[in-house]
């Protein structure tokens, strides 16, 4: 009865719609712009029930006013960040209850990309915004490497079958970088081949399972000998701590 729909927006953003296929209720994650959301609401006769925001960047919140002008619905936003139009600030351990979708989402704080970023998760899915990407992670605009590494480690505690829904279509370029970090990792090569095929059909490569992320996302693999060794080579010194390995891989990616 629940369908998760990607709405491509701006250059490479995804707005996620959580839709009850029978009742047509819909929750909206990270509305970068209002227009594509309002269009699909109109064309499919959907009933909006909530907006959920992962962080304060304009390309995740820009559509809030245009949607709430027409629909008086709660707007869940990270409580540590200012977001215009917020009605329900949320943080670690809070629950967003959406009975129309028979869904409860739990919040985890995942600072690093921004200082108060949150993720929304259930038993089988997680909305990560720009913190964890398919095969990559966000830039650290407001956080430190230990903070971002700790946030990414929290995603690793979710079940392997969890589907990761992130805020941008970056999989192919992320996997090209991953292949440079771990040239001998055949899972990366195979995933890159599939992701390129998918993109050639103009289809989304998101979501992905956390199992696939753990095998191919270098930012979740900072304890792996091959990643430690590549990061040490990049930084010109032997790295021991996972957070230092993460910092080196992130810096490498920033210049890739
Ligand atoms: Zn962002």
Ligand 1 centroid vs 90 CA: distance in angstroms? Answer: 18
* 3-class DSSP state of 26: strand
Is 113 a catalytic site residue? Answer: yes
Identify the pLDDT of residue 177. Answer: 98
CA–centroid distance, 23 to ligand 1, in Å, is 32
Domain presence at residue 200? no
Given this model, what pLDDT does residue 100 score?
98
Q: Note every long-range contact of 76-82, with CB atoms under 8 Å and residues 24 or more positions apart, other chains counting.
A: 76/50, 76/51, 76/52, 76/120, 77/53, 78/53, 78/54, 78/109, 78/114, 78/116, 78/117, 78/118, 79/116, 80/109, 80/111, 80/115, 80/116, 81/55, 81/56, 81/114, 81/115, 81/116, 81/117, 82/56
Nearest to 176 by CA among 199, 207, 149, 150: 199
Catalytic residue of the set 25, 56, 57, 149: 57
Question: Whole-prediction pTM value?
Answer: 0.97
- Mean pLDDT computed over 185-199: 98
Tens digits of residue pLDDT in 144-166: 999 999 999 999 999 999 999 99
Write down the pLDDT at residue 233: 98
Q: Is 55 a catalytic residue?
A: yes
Q: How far is CA 40 from CA 63, 76, 190, 214, in A?
A: 14, 21, 34, 34
For residue 121, the CA-to-ligand 1 centroid distance in Å is 18
**Section 78-90 average pLDDT:** 97
Rounded to an integer, the average pLDDT of 228-243 is 97
Residue 194 located in a structural domain: no
- Identify whether 243 is part of a domain: no
The pLDDT value given to residue 188: 98
- Given the residues 55, 56, 109, 244, the one annotated as active site: 55
Across the chain, mean pLDDT equals: 98
Q: Percent of the chain scored above 90 by pLDDT?
A: 100
Q: Give the three-class secondary structure for 28.
A: strand
Range 211-237 average pLDDT: 98
What's the rounded mean pLDDT across residues 190-197? 98
Determine, yes or no, domain membership for 45.
yes
Band of the pLDDT at 109, cuts 50, 70, 90?
very high
In the reported structure, the alpha carbon of residue 59 is separated from the centroid of ligand 1 by a whole-number distance in angstroms of 7
- Asked if the structure places residue 15 within a domain, the reply is yes
Contact assessment for residue 87 and residue 79, using Cβ atoms and an 8 Å cutoff: no
List Cβ neighbours of 156 (8 Å cut-off, separation of 6 or more).
Answer: 210, 214, 220
Would you say residue 253 lies in a domain? no
Q: Which residue in the list 25, 30, 56, 59 is annotated as catalytic?
A: 59
Segments forming the whole domain that contains residue 13:
2-170+205-217
Q: What percent of the chain has pLDDT over 70?
A: 100
For the residues 95-110, what does the mean pLDDT come to? 98
CA of 139 to the centre of ligand 1 (A): 8
Q: Is residue 255 part of a domain?
A: no
Question: Which of the residues 25, 56, 149, 168 is marked catalytic?
Answer: 168
CATH at residue 92? 3.60.15.10
Average pLDDT over residues 1-25: 97
Give the pLDDT confidence score for residue 67 in this predicted structure: 98
The whole-number average pLDDT for the span 26-40 is 98
Query: Does 56 qualify as catalytic in the annotation?
Result: no
- Among the listed residues 25, 56, 113, 149, the single catalytic one is 113
Average pLDDT over residues 48-63: 98
Q: How confident is the model at residue 93 (pLDDT cuts 50, 70, 90)?
A: very high
What is the 243 CA–ligand 1 centroid distance (Å)? 21
Number of domains in the chain: 1
Question: Is residue 182 included in any domain, yes or no?
Answer: no
Single out the catalytic residue among 60, 109, 149, 244: 60
How does DSSP classify residue 219?
G
Q: How far apart are CA 29 and CA 86, in angstroms?
A: 13
Cβ atoms of 119 and 126 closer than 8 Å: yes
């Amino acid at each position: 009865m629940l369908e998760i729909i990607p709405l491509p927006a701006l250059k490479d953003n995804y707005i996620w719609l959580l839709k009850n296929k029978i009742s047509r209720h819909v929750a909206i994650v990270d509305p970068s712009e209002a227009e594509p959301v309002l269009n699909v609401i109109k064309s499919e006769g959907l009933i909006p029930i909530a907006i959920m925001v992962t962080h304060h960047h304009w390309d995740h919140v820009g559509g809030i006013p245009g949607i709430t002008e027409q629909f008086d619905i709660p707007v869940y936003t990270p409580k540590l960040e200012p977001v215009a139009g917020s009605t329900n600030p949320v943080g670690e351990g809070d629950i967003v209850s959406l009975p129309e979708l028979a869904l409860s989402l739990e919040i985890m704080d995942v600072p690093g990309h921004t200082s108060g970023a949150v993720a929304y998760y259930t038993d089988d899915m997680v909305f990560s915004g720009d913190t964890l990407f398919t095969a990559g992670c966000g830039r650290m605009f407001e956080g430190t490497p230990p903070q971002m590494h700790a946030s990414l480690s929290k995603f690793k505690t979710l079940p392997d079958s969890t589907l990761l829904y992130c805020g941008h279509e970056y999989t192919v370029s992320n996997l090209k970088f991953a292949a440079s970090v771990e040239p001998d990792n055949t899972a990366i090569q195979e995933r890159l081949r599939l992701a390129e095929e998918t993109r050639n059909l103009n289809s989304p490569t998101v979501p992905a399972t956390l199992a696939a992320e753990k095998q191919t996302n270098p930012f979740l693999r900072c304890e792996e000998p091959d990643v430690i060794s590549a990061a040490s080579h990049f930084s010109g010194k032997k790295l021991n701590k996972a957070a230092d390995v993460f910092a080196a891989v992130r810096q490498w990616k920033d210049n890739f």
